[in-house]
Structure 1
Amino acid sequence: MSAAPIAYRHELDGLRAIAVLAVLGYHAGYNDVAGGFIGVDVFLVLSGYLITQQIMIGLDAGGFAPLRFWLRRARRLLPAMVPVLAFALVAALILKGDGAFADFAGHFLSAGFFYSNYQFASEAGYFARASDTNLLLHTWSLSLEWQFYLIMPPLLMILHRFGRDATILGLIAISAASLAYSEILIRAGNANWAFYATPPRFWEFAAGGVVALLPRLALPFAGPLLRGAGLALIFWMILAYAGGPFPGLGAGLPVLGTLIILIAPESPRDPLRLMLSWRWMQWVGQRSYAIYLIHWPLMVAITPSEMNQSEGILTVAIPVSILLGHLIYRFAETPVRTGSGFRESRAILRHGTLTLAVIAAIGLALPTAAVLALREALPLSTTRATITQIDRARADYLDLQDRISAGDMPNARYCSFDDIASTDAMLACLTDPTTPEDTVLLIGDSHGRDVLAAMLMAYPGQHVTMLHQSSCVPATYIRGRSLCFDALDRIIETLAARGALPPVILAARWWQGEHENVSATLATLDAVDADTLVIGPGPTFASPMETHATEAGFAGTTLRALAPLGPESFAFDIAATSADLAARAASRGAEFLDRYAMVCTGGACPVFDGATGPILYFDEQHLSPAGLAWFAAMLEDTELSAFLER
C-alpha cells in the first residue's frame, strides 16, 4: 500500500534560505550575525519534522520499509558530499602540513561515513588544532542527521504500535530527556560532547517530530502572528546573540521559533508566508544543503591556517559558495535524485556501496608514502615543509606536557585546577609530605607550565611544585564564565600558617588587562612575607606560526625570511603590560624578570633558533621543545638564578 505524499510547504524553503545565509554570514565574520550558527538548529528541527511525517505516513499506510528509507536518505546525502570531499582533498593536499594532513585522512573517512561528529568531539581540547583550519568540520551536522535517520525508524515503529497519542508522548519524553542530558553535560564541563553527540542533540529533531504529529492550527488569522513570532525568535538569536552555554537551553529560541512556524496555519494571504515563498528564497532554500556543504571548505581553503573574522575575503566566499552550491545541486544532487537509474533500491545500494568503497580507499591511502611523495610535486612544497616542522614541534610539545601533567618529570610536582575540584584537595596536593624542602612554588597558566619545563632544563637539581590553571592569570577572578584559581589567597595564607609556603614564582601569559588581577595575589604574598618573583610575559602573536608561514608562501617567500617578528605582529602591547606588571611587583616588594626583554631584542622576537635552527613556537604563543631549550639557556645568570640560590 503506497503512502500519500507529503504536502509541499514552499515556506520551509524560505526558512532554509534564512538558515543557510545566517550560517554563511556567521562564518564570514559578520558581527551583526553573531548568532548565525543557529541556522544549523533550524535545519535539525526541520529535518525532524519532515522525516517524522514521512515515516509516520508509511507506518499508517502499513507500507513503511526501513531499508528503503535508509537507501533513499543515502541517495539524498551522498551525491552532494562527493564533490565537496574532492574539493577538500585537493585543498588538503596543497595546503596542509604532514601532521594536519594525517588528521585530514581521518576526517575524510569520518565525513564520508557520517560519524565525524564523534571524531571531532574526541579531538577537542586546549591544544587542539584551531577549528577554523579543519576543512570538514561542518560535516558534524550531516553525521548527526544521518544518525538521526538511523534511530528514528525503529523508534517510531515501536511507538506507533501504541497509537498516535502514545507516539507524541513518547517523543516528548525522549526530547525532554535529551535536553536534560545536554544541560547536565554543559554544567559538568562537557560542552563539546553536548554540541557534537547525538543523544544530547536528539531533542531538536524530536521536537520537530512532535509538531509533525500534531494538527496544524485551524485559525487562519493566527498565521501571521505565529510566523511573526517564530521569525522574531530566530532573528533575535541570529542578530542579538550575546554568548552563553550552548546548545542545551541555549538553543531554545531558534528551536521554539522554528516549531511555531511549523505549526502555524496556512493563511494564504499571510505576507510573511508569501515572503518565505519568494522565488529567490525558494531557489536558495532548495540548494541550501549543497551551499552549506561547500561553503566551509571553501572558506578554510582561502584562509587555510586561520579564518580571520573579517568582512574581506570571506565575503567573496559567500556568493562563490552559492554559485558552487548551485552547480553541485544541478549536476550532482538533481541527476541522482530524479534519474531513472537511481530509483530502485538495488541501484541505490549498488551506487552507494561503490561510492563508499572509493571514499574508504582514498581515505586509507592518504597517509601512505606514495601520497606523501605525490605532495612533494605540488605547489607550496616549501611552505608545507615549514608547516610540517610546526606540526612536529606541536606533537613533541604535547608529549612533554603530558609527561608533566602525569607527574613523570623528575623534581616536579604538578597540581592543576583543571583536574582538582576543591580547595582542600589542592592543599593536599601542594603539601605532599614527600616534597623536598628546597622546592619553589610556581603558580601560573600554560605559559607558567612552559616556564616549569624550561626551569627543569636549566636547573636540573631544582625541585618545583606547580599550581596550575589553564588560561588564568594567577589570581582569583572570573574569566568569562569560569572561576580562576579558586580561593588562591586562602591557599597561600593556609600554606604560610602551616609553615609550608616556599618561595613563590608567578608566571603566565599576562594578557593585557587581566594581568591587573595579580595585584590581589601580590598583596597576599606580601602580607605573609613570601619571597616572590614575577616572570613577565613573552611574545604572544596575533596569529599562529602556521598563518605566518602560509602567508609567506602565498607571497613567494618563507617564514624564516620574514622573521624575526615585531610588535606589529603581537596580540597586545606586551611592552606596556610588562612595564605595568613590573611596577605592580615592585609596589609589593616582589622581584621581576622581564622575559620580553630577555627573548626579544629591540622588540624583534626570533621565530627560529638562528639561521638554520629549529622553530621556536608551534602556535601563536607557546614555545616548542626547541624553544623551551633555547629559553632555558637564557635563564642562567638571571634574576631567577639569584632567586633560586637563596
Structure 2
Amino acid sequence: MTSQATNQLDLHHRKEIDGLRALAVSAVIAFHFFPGTLPTGYLGVDLFFVISGYLITLLISRQAAKNEFRFSSFYLKRVKRILPAMLAMLVASSIAATLILLAPDLERYAKSQIATLSFIANIYFWRTGGYFSTSDELKPLLHMWSLGVEEQFYLFFPAILIIIIRFIRPQSLKIVALLVIATSSYGINIYLTHIGGSNPAFFLLPTRIWQFAIGGCFALLPIIRPENSTRLNFLFIAGLALITINFVTPPSQIPSATLLTLGAGLILWNKLNSNSLLLRYLITKPVGLVGLSSFSLYLWHWPILVFLKYIYVDSVPLHILMSALLATILIAYLSWKYIENPFRSSIPTRTTLLAILSIYCVLAIYASTMLALKGLPGRDADLANSFANAIDSNYRCPPGNYRLYGASRSCLIGDITASPSLALLGNSHAQMYAPAIIESLNAHHQAGLIIPLNGCLPTIDLNISTECLKMAEINFQAIEKDRNLKTVIIAMTWYSNDLVDKSGASISDPKLSYREKSIMMLIDNLAKTGKNIYLVGPIAIPNFDFASVASRNIKFGNTIENSSVTRASFDSQFKSLISSLSRQLQGRLILPHEVLCDEEHCNFADKQGSYFSDSNHLSAYGTQKLRQLFNPIFERQQH
C-alpha cells in the first residue's frame, strides 16, 4: 500500500467507530464468559450490524457518486477482510474438535463448518437449535451465525443500494427507500416472534436487515458541520445513552433492540472533532485497539470458551475462565496483527486468493471426511455416542410444511396432500410427540397439524401470560370452526406453576388443581364441536441437558448422576392429577410415564440411548418408545 493511500485511510479513520466496535465485542464476550454480569450483552451483535450497514452504504454511495464503484473490487475487499482470519480460526477449531468432541458432536461440528464455508451458518443454526439454550452453548461455530447474516447482506445489499442511488432522486427519497426496507424487515421480525417464530426472527437476514438499513439511512443523512461541536457532542451522548438503556434493560421491554439501533446511528451519523474531549476520554488507545481487533476477538473467543465448557461438563473453574479470557485477547491480537492486517494491505492479492482457496479446500475435505466417517465413533464408548446422538433430536418442522393457523405457525405432518384431520395442540411439548404419530398418519393416508404456542399453554382461561391467553383463544376458535379436524391431541408442559387469569391476576398452582380445571374446560368446549379429544399426561423431566451432560461424563471418566427420579417423587407430584383425569377422560388420557417409568424410577435413558434431547423435550429415541401409546387413536377411527 502506498503512503498516499495510507494517509487517506488515516484521514477517514473515525475513533468513535472503533469505540462502538469495542463496546459491541466487549458486551458479547462479557455475556458469553460471565452471562450474569451483562444478560443483554448479546445485543453487541446488533451494534455490529448497524455499523456494517452504515459503512457499506457510505462507501458505496460515495464511490457511486464518482462513478468509481465496482462490484469486483467491493467483493475482493470483503474477501480479504473476512476470510483469512475466519479460516485460521476454523483450522484451529477443527483440530480441537477432532481431539475433544464425541463422534456425534464432531459430525454436527463438520456440518456447521460446511454451513460456515457456504455462508449459511445462520440458516443451519436456525434449523438445528437456537442461540440461548444450554445445548447451544456447546456448538463451537455457533457465533458464525452473525457472519452468515453479514455475508448475505454483502451479497444482496450492494445491488439494491446501487439501484436506489442511480434511479431514485432526490436524496430524501433514497432515505425513504431504505426506511421502507427497514420497516418491512422490522414488521416481519415482530410478526414472526409473535407467532412463535423467534428462532427465524433471530437468525435470518430478512428479519435482521432493518438494522443494516437503519445504519444506511444515517449514512445518507446530511452531515452536520464540524464546527458545530456542541450539537455533535449532544448527538454522541444521546446515542450512547440509548445504547446503554438497551444493555441495562430486559430485552422484552424493548423489542428487537430498537433504541440500541437508533443510538448507534446517532453516533455514526457525524464525525466528531478530533479535539473532542469525548474522543479523548472515552476512546482511549486501549479502547481503540479493542475496536480495531474486534473481529478477531469475536472469532476466537467463542470456540475457546466452548471447548472448555465441553471438557469441564458442569462449570469451568473461575481461574480457568480468566486464563481463557487472557488467551483470547492474546490470540485475537496476534490474529489481527499477523493475519487480518497483512492480508488486507501488504500481501499480494494473488497470494491471498491462492491461500484462501487452498485452505477452503482442506477444510471442505476435512468436514466431508468427518461426515463420511460419522465423526470417528470408534474412539469412545458406544453408550456415550448413543447419548450424544440424542442431543437436539426432538422434532422440528420442515420449513416447507409451515402453515399459518390461528395465532400459530403450525406444521403439516403425515400425508400432506390430504386435508388435516388431526391436530397436535399445545406448545413445543406437543410438537415433540409428532414422530410418534407420523407413521400412523402416513399408513392411514391422513394429514395432521401441529398447532404450537411455544412458551404458552393451550388453555383459554388460565395461561402463562395474558398474551398467551389471547393467542390460545384465537387457536381455540380456529379449531372450533375447522370442520376437517376430527381428532385433537393436547400436549403441554406440566411444570409451569405461575399462571395468570384473563385479568392478569397471578395464580400459583403447585397442586395442579387450577390447571386440571382449565384443561378439562378446554377439552369439554372442544368436545362440544364433535371432535375426539385426547390429552397427553405429564412425564418426569431431567431439568438439565441430560444427553449432553451424561455423554460427556462418560467420555471424560466422570460419574453419571441424576439419570432418573424416583417413582415416588413423580407420583407425589402427579398421581392425584392422573387419577382424576383418568376418571374424567375414560380412556382418552395418554400416559407416557407408564412407558418411561418402572415401579421404582422414572428413567431418563436406558442402555440403548437417552429419552431426552435436552432438559425437558423427548429425543427421537424417547418418542419412538411411545409410539404404541398413540396407536389406539387410529384403531378407534376404523370402528
Output the TM-score relative to the length of structure 1: 0.73
Deviation string 1:54-101 (CA, Å, 9 cap, x unpaired) is 334444455444323322221111121022212332343345454444
2:603 aligns with 606
> 1:38 deviation in Å?
1.7
Identify the range of structure 1 (515-524 vs 13-22) with the bigger mean alpha-carbon deviation. Answer: 515-524
> 1:604 deviation in Å?
3.7
Q: Which of 241, 255, 259 is the aligned partner of 2:250?
A: 241
Identify the range of structure 1 (59-68 vs 287-296) with the bigger mean alpha-carbon deviation. Answer: 59-68
Q: Which of 346, 350, 358 is the aligned partner of 2:350?
A: 346
2:386 aligns with 386
Q: Which of 173, 177, 180 is the aligned partner of 1:176?
A: 180
Q: Which of 145, 150, 166 is the aligned partner of 1:145?
A: 150
Q: Unaligned stretches of 5+ in structure 2?
A: 412-417, 500-511
Residues 93 and 140 in structure 2, CA contact (< 8 A), matched pair in contact too:
yes
Residues 239 and 266 in structure 2, CA contact (< 8 A), matched pair in contact too:
yes
One-letter amino acid of the counterpart of residue 510, structure 1 = W
Other structure's SS at 1:33 match:
coil
Other structure's SS at 1:30 match:
coil
Deviation string 1:306-325 (CA, Å, 9 cap, x unpaired) is 99899967666544432332
Q: Classify 1:276/1:578 alpha carbon distance in 2 versus 1 (closer, same or farther; 3 Å).
A: same
5 Å-filtered alignment, 1:260-271, equals 260-264=266-270, 266-267=272-273, 270-271=276-277
2:473 aligns with 486
Q: Classify 1:363/1:429 alpha carbon distance in 2 versus 1 (closer, same or farther; 3 Å).
A: closer
Other structure's SS at 1:605 match:
strand
One-letter amino acid of the counterpart of residue 390, structure 1 = A
2:92 aligned with 1:108, yes or no? no
2:558 aligned with 1:578, yes or no? no
1:89 aligns with 94
> 1:585 deviation in Å?
4.8
Q: Which of 217, 240, 252 is the aligned partner of 1:231?
A: 240
1:274 aligns with 280
1:616 aligns with 611
CA distance in 2 between counterparts of 1:13 and 1:318 reads 21
2:415 aligns with none
1:411 aligns with none
> 1:237 deviation in Å?
0.6
1:552 aligns with 553
5 Å-filtered alignment, 1:59-74, equals 59-74=64-79
> 1:180 deviation in Å?
1.4
Deviation string 1:215-250 (CA, Å, 9 cap, x unpaired) is 13442112332222111111111111332686xxx2
CA distance in 2 between counterparts of 1:166 and 1:244 reads 37
Q: Which of 206, 209, 213 is the aligned partner of 2:213?
A: 206
Q: Unaligned stretches of 5+ in structure 1?
A: 407-414, 422-427, 436-440
Residues 390 and 620 in structure 2, CA contact (< 8 A), matched pair in contact too:
no
Q: Classify 1:575/1:152 alpha carbon distance in 2 versus 1 (closer, same or farther; 3 Å).
A: same
Q: Classify 1:323/1:215 alpha carbon distance in 2 versus 1 (closer, same or farther; 3 Å).
A: same
Deviation string 1:346-392 (CA, Å, 9 cap, x unpaired) is 343333333333333333333223x844x645xx565752345436x
One-letter amino acid of the counterpart of residue 260, structure 2 = P
CA distance in 2 between counterparts of 1:528 and 1:178 reads 41
5 Å-filtered alignment, 1:6-85, equals 6-28=11-33, 30-85=35-90
User: RMSD across aligned C-alpha pairs, in angstroms?
Assistant: 5.0
CA distance in 2 between counterparts of 1:507 and 1:131 reads 25
Other structure's SS at 2:205 match:
coil
Q: Classify 1:228/1:416 alpha carbon distance in 2 versus 1 (closer, same or farther; 3 Å).
A: closer
Residues 610 and 621 in structure 2, CA contact (< 8 A), matched pair in contact too:
yes
One-letter amino acid of the counterpart of residue 215, structure 1 = I
Q: Classify 1:321/1:390 alpha carbon distance in 2 versus 1 (closer, same or farther; 3 Å).
A: same
5 Å-filtered alignment, 1:122-521, equals 122-123=127-128, 130-161=135-166, 166=170, 169-188=173-192, 189=195, 190-213=197-220, 214-218=222-226, 219-243=228-252, 250-264=256-270, 266-267=272-273, 270-304=276-310, 317-338=324-345, 340=346, 342=347, 344-369=348-373, 372-373=375-376, 376-377=378-379, 380=380, 385-390=385-390, 398=395, 447=429, 469-470=451-452, 471=454, 472-476=456-460, 477-479=462-464, 481-482=467-468, 483=470, 485-486=472-473, 507-513=491-497, 516-521=514-519
2:509 aligns with none
CA distance in 2 between counterparts of 1:558 and 1:87 reads 30
Residues 429 and 491 in structure 2, CA contact (< 8 A), matched pair in contact too:
yes
Q: Classify 1:455/1:178 alpha carbon distance in 2 versus 1 (closer, same or farther; 3 Å).
A: closer
Residues 410 and 450 in structure 2, CA contact (< 8 A), matched pair in contact too:
no
CA distance in 2 between counterparts of 1:350 and 1:557 reads 46
Deviation string 1:42-64 (CA, Å, 9 cap, x unpaired) is 11222233333333444445544
Q: Classify 1:599/1:18 alpha carbon distance in 2 versus 1 (closer, same or farther; 3 Å).
A: same
Residues 171 and 206 in structure 1, CA contact (< 8 A), matched pair in contact too:
no
Q: Classify 1:634/1:33 alpha carbon distance in 2 versus 1 (closer, same or farther; 3 Å).
A: same
CA distance in 2 between counterparts of 1:485 and 1:359 reads 47
CA distance in 1 between counterparts of 2:45 and 2:539 reads 40
CA distance in 1 between counterparts of 2:515 and 2:242 reads 38
Q: Classify 1:493/1:119 alpha carbon distance in 2 versus 1 (closer, same or farther; 3 Å).
A: closer
> 1:524 deviation in Å?
6.2
Query: Number of aligned pairs?
Result: 587
Determine which structure has more spread, i.e. the larger CA radius of gyration.
1
Q: Classify 1:168/1:537 alpha carbon distance in 2 versus 1 (closer, same or farther; 3 Å).
A: same
> 1:449 deviation in Å?
7.0
CA distance in 2 between counterparts of 1:61 and 1:529 reads 70
CA distance in 1 between counterparts of 2:207 and 2:181 reads 8
> 1:518 deviation in Å?
3.9
Residues 53 and 212 in structure 2, CA contact (< 8 A), matched pair in contact too:
yes
One-letter amino acid of the counterpart of residue 539, structure 1 = A
Q: Classify 1:620/1:556 alpha carbon distance in 2 versus 1 (closer, same or farther; 3 Å).
A: same
CA distance in 2 between counterparts of 1:364 and 1:102 reads 9
One-letter amino acid of the counterpart of residue 263, structure 1 = W
One-letter amino acid of the counterpart of residue 223, structure 2 = P
CA distance in 2 between counterparts of 1:303 and 1:328 reads 23
CA distance in 1 between counterparts of 2:258 and 2:93 reads 33
Residues 505 and 532 in structure 1, CA contact (< 8 A), matched pair in contact too:
yes
Residues 493 and 538 in structure 2, CA contact (< 8 A), matched pair in contact too:
yes
CA distance in 1 between counterparts of 2:97 and 2:593 reads 36
CA distance in 2 between counterparts of 1:635 and 1:39 reads 46
Residues 132 and 306 in structure 1, CA contact (< 8 A), matched pair in contact too:
no
CA distance in 1 between counterparts of 2:143 and 2:54 reads 22
